Structure 1
């Protein structure tokens, strides 16, 4: 399927690894120009090289560091995109952290604020910076990354759960406001995908249980995520395929929706 994104400019936050990187590679292969964003310059440049290896011959790939917890940095990122590409057509907000986890009563205000600042407010700042550029073009695609946790929360991840639920609501709210101007805004909610964030979780579990990481993954699937219908961990590329479709011309009648790329992990039919 031709996604019809050749020549479009896609800004991918959290783009140095995981779902963000996989999405950037896929969109670049379809002919989109890519602005890859994350906080760490060296890791971001390495990721940009990987994207260039997959890029269609006329696609440009640039790496721009910016901290999404700083509004000034996000506005500067938007200004650079405007100057170099004439504005963004696509925004994929993949930046996020697991944040503080554990007993709710032991979490401090700072624990919650830190997760909110990155996982929820990072998306707010990115949308606020790039929506005007899309309005000027009369066309845009925004995909915000939520999680199964928004619909099926896990008791030891309350800050993350709340932020990801907020992301779905934010996407719906923005879609109601801007879709008539040609901006289609949706969410994708993954579950237990092989990314650096879940790798770290598995490393911690392996150390705690005194096993290998592979054994930790198997234990986690059996004991913590037995509801995953496909019975395995997902790949970032599998989520990227859903995101890329929502960024495309083919998704011209889809807005305000949440798409679960979760291997059947969420047990409700209507969540």
Structure 2
């Protein structure tokens, strides 16, 4: 039986690497992204262009696609990249809407079908910033901390349903998202990594492939660090 996955933010960065890796395992992957599929994309028929913070749009995709087996929530934004005291309420709301409410909308839309089937794998995407807090990235750090907490909560709620929910907390990875980060901030957080390098999207995707497989059966509500040694708890 071919399994079906939803990958949000699936056209670039971690989402694109994840979609490619899951497809290599024979999984049919539907991508959700604010961007449109490029001309000639062989997977364009399985792409859905939307704003992940739009509950109704996400629910509509769930209705069209039907029950899925896997959900990976890669969609996210950096938000304001400057000192907290210089940020605005609107910037905070947009960061929360995408990073937190987009994750919530995705889980609310796709988890019920998994519960009904008695099997599912959900992987949310946080960040080391959600554990440590990065300077000049307060909104991003706060939202990623929220993603960690909500994953722990929903993991407990679904623990007896056959649906496992875990979260990956990466340090800096080589993605378009981090390309938009202030170079000084990027250097600061890279210097915190004992391996002294940034991670690669394919390293992230490999961990996702493990967490969304039958190889995992007794882990839910857990945080999987992908930090090159940065994580200390």
Bigger Rg over Cα: 1
User: When you count helix as a share of all residues, which structure comes out higher?
Assistant: 1
SS at match of 1:187: strand
- Among 158, 168, 171, the alignment partner of 1:178 is 158
- Among 128, 143, 161, the alignment partner of 1:163 is 143
SS at match of 2:26: coil
SS at match of 2:53: coil
Unaligned runs of 5+ in 1: 1-5, 53-59, 206-215
Match of 2:54 in 1: 70
SS at match of 2:29: strand
Question: Deviations for 1:158-205, whole angstroms, at most 9, x for unmatched residues?
Answer: 00001000001111100110120101000001111010011222xx53
Match of 2:227 in 1: 262
Corresponding pairs, count = 233
Counterpart Cα distance in 1 of 2:126 and 2:82:
20
Match of 2:89 in 1: 109
1:10–1:33: 8 Å Cα contact kept in structure 2?
Answer: yes
* 1:40 aligned onto 2:35: yes
RMSD of aligned Cα (Å): 1.9
Counterpart Cα distance in 2 of 1:259 and 1:66:
28
1:11–1:90: 8 Å Cα contact kept in structure 2?
Answer: yes
Match of 2:101 in 1: 121
Question: Deviations for 1:106-138, whole angstroms, at most 9, x for unmatched residues?
Answer: 211111101000000000000000111111111
2:134–2:189: 8 Å Cα contact kept in structure 1?
Answer: no
Match of 2:70 in 1: 90
TM-score by length of 2: 0.94
Shift of 1:61: 6.8
SS at match of 1:42: coil
TM-score by length of 1: 0.81
* 1:1-271 equivalences in 2 (<5 Å): 7-43=2-38, 48-49=41-42, 62-82=46-66, 87-201=67-181, 205=183, 220-221=186-187, 223-266=188-231, 268=232, 271=233
Counterpart Cα distance in 2 of 1:74 and 1:230:
38
Counterpart Cα distance in 2 of 1:11 and 1:226:
34
Counterpart Cα distance in 2 of 1:197 and 1:88:
27
SS at match of 1:259: strand
Counterpart Cα distance in 2 of 1:61 and 1:241:
25
Counterpart Cα distance in 2 of 1:80 and 1:164:
29
Unaligned runs of 5+ in 2: none
